[in-house]
């Protein structure tokens, strides 16, 4: 299974550097795991500078001009799940672990399954396939809406927001 660690958003400067929006806990961690893949291509990050909460400027091995960097725009960078470190705390999880999990209501009734995770710029959004209607809904992935994530038993608890009822 591949896990997306970031996306190249744009070139930076004239020497081939790129801006990367990271999905790692600390933005600088994107360079810790070795080669990242996108399709059939692999990329080695040589150096990074953190410029924001989830934004870095990176030099990628073999990319030496703005034109080469421009070709990488919107490429998602992945790593194999097995190459990521094991998590110490049972309350910790990788977002990719949520996909496919059961979504249960607070009374333990099965409501649906996590179809995917989206981020349109602010918070993460879970897309849930609802069992009864076979339609998808999207809910903000916050502690108020999803108070419990049970990684071991592969389910999350949904505190249904009032505007859905």
What is the torsional sign of CA 143, 125, 56, 97? positive
Tokens describing residue 141: 């992935």
Residue 164: what pLDDT?
59
Least confident of 8-12, 24-28, 145-149: 24-28
Please report which confidence band the pLDDT of residue 152 belongs to, taking 50, 70 and 90 as the band edges. Answer: confident
The whole-number average pLDDT for the span 86-100 is 80
Distances (CA, A) of 148 to 46, 92, 129, 156, 157: 38, 11, 18, 6, 5
* CA dist 42 → 22, 83, 148, 161 (Å): 17, 15, 36, 42
Confidence grade of residue 120 (pLDDT, cut at 50, 70, 90): confident
Tokens found for residue 18? 């790129």
Q: What is the mean pLDDT of residues 46-51?
A: 92
**What pLDDT, on a 0 to 100 scale, did the predictor assign at position 165?**
52
Bridge partners for 60 per DSSP: 45
What's the whole-number average pLDDT of the chain?
A: 90
Q: What is the mean pLDDT of residues 65-75?
A: 96
Q: Strands of 148-150's sheet, edge to edge?
A: 136-140, 124-130, 110-119, 102-105, 155-158, 148-150
Taking the model in full, what pTM does it have?
0.71
Q: Which residues pair with 38 in a beta bridge?
A: 41
Phi, psi of 123 (to 5 degrees): -95, 165
Share of the chain above pLDDT 70, in %: 96
């Amino acid at each position: 299974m591949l896990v997306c660690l970031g996306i190249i958003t744009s070139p930076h400067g004239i020497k081939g550097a790129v801006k990367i929006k990271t999905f790692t806990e600390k933005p600088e961690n994107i360079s810790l795991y070795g080669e990242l893949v996108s399709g059939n291509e692999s990329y080695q990050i040589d150096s990074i500078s953190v410029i924001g909460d989830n934004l870095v400027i990176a030099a990628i091995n073999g990319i030496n001009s703005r034109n080469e960097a421009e070709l990488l725009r919107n490429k998602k960078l992945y790593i194999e799940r097995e190459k990521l470190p094991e998590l110490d705390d049972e309350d910790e999880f990788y977002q990719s672990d949520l996909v496919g999990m059961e979504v249960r209501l607070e009374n333990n009734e099965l409501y649906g399954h996590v179809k995917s995770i989206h981020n349109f710029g602010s918070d993460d959004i879970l897309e849930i396939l609802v069992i009864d209607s076979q339609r998808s809904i999207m809910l903000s992935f916050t502690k108020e809406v999803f108070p419990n994530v049970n990684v071991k038993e592969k389910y999350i608890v949904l505190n249904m927001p009032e505007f859905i009822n």
